[in-house]
Amino acid sequence: MESIDEKLSQLTSAYNKMANHVNGMDTNCENMWVKMKTMEQAMAYMMEQLECVTKHVSDLNVSMKLRDEEEREKAEANKNREAPRARVTNTVMENRCYRCDHSGHKSLDCPLKEQNKWFCYKCQSVQNHIAAKCPNHRYVDDNKN
């Protein structure tokens, strides 16, 4: 069985430890001891303070959790904002020519431009037409009779 002194010192250290983490708490213990007439009153006061501290700590945890979620949402929003830019950069980095379907130059620098030719994706070869105007492989609308 712990003595009341041991219990009190445990409570005091627990109280002080928690009070360090809580802003706006009354951490002035000296005045309390003066006001206390008996050990029982001191204990009751301690328990009251501990309950108060516990409540503050749980409030603190809730607000910290809310802040963390806010930060995470902000980070998520930033990530979404940056995503399209990253995709565009990747396309530029790839430097693929849509005119001749080769990489290493852009369509503006394509040698086929001089010859007024394109790589036709439908013919799968270099032609004097683009795939959209390919005469050999027209889009077939199956639903149309």
Q: Catalog residues that contact Zn ion under the rule CB under 5 A.
A: 97, 99-100, 110, 120, 122-123, 127, 134
Which residue number, 22 or 134, has a Cβ lying nearer to Zn ion? 134
Are the beta carbons of 22 and 49 closer than 8 angstroms? no
Which residue number, 45 or 98, has a Cβ lying nearer to Zn ion? 98
Shortest reach from residue 66's CB to Zn ion, in Å: 54
Phi, psi (rounded to 5 degrees) for 26? -80, 105
Shortest reach from residue 93's CB to Zn ion, in Å: 17
Distance CA 23, CA 60 (A): 10
Shortest reach from residue 102's CB to Zn ion, in Å: 5
Shortest reach from residue 63's CB to Zn ion, in Å: 58
Are the beta carbons of 50 and 15 closer than 8 angstroms? yes
Distance CA 125, CA 115 (A): 14
Which residue number, 15 or 119, has a Cβ lying nearer to Zn ion? 119
Instruction: Give Cβ neighbours of residue 125 (< 8 Å, ≥ 6 apart).
Output: 119
Which residue number, 7 or 129, has a Cβ lying nearer to Zn ion? 129
